[in-house]
Amino acid sequence: MSIETAGFGAFIIVLVMTLVTLSTRWGGVFVMSFVPIGDRVKRFIHAMSGSVFVALLVPMAAAGDMGARLALVTTAVVMLLSRQPLLAISAGVAAAALVRQI
């Protein structure tokens, strides 16, 4: 099922995104008000919320150019050493920009 992104379609997409995001912001609290969320469900959600990042990242690295790959490596190294997200992201983006100038 696909939807046109031109004109009104874009607003439908934004509306759907809003509803899906709200369902996650409200869902945890809503469910907890009836039954405590069990360990198994927590394990699944916790693993999935990290895995979706990996699932987006790996193809990005595989399909990306040298700049993109170096950016990711730089971010990882700076993040692990400094624990400063802002610094790590800036360093990664700068690395990509630098490699592409050469």
Partner 1 sequence: MTVKTEELHHLNRSLVWSGFKQLAPISLFVIAFGLAFGLAAKQTGLSDSTIVIMSALVFTGAAQFAVLELWGTQMPLLTMIFTVFAINSRHLLMGATLYPWLRNLPPSQRYGLMMLSSDANWAMAMQAFTAGRPGFGLLLGGGLALWTFWVFGSWLGIYFGSLLSNPKAIGLDVVLGCFLLAILLGGEKNLRMLVIWTIAGTSSLMAYWYLPENSHVIVGALAGGVAGLFLKGSKR
Instruction: Name residues contacting partner 1, limited to 34-63 (CB under 8 A).
Output: 37, 39-40, 42-63
Phi, psi of 20 (to 5 degrees): -65, -45
By CB under 8 A, what part of segment 76-95 binds partner 1?
Answer: 76, 79-80, 83, 85-86, 88-89, 92-95
User: CA-CA-CA-CA torsion for 82, 83, 89, 94, nearest 10 degrees?
Assistant: 0
Q: Is 66 in the site for partner 1 (CB under 8 A)?
A: no
Helix (H), strand (E) at residue 83: none
Tokens of 95: 């690395």
Rounded to the nearest whole angstrom, what is the least distance from the CB of residue 70 to partner 1 in the complex?
Answer: 9
Rounded to the nearest whole angstrom, what is the least distance from the CB of residue 82 to partner 1 in the complex?
Answer: 10
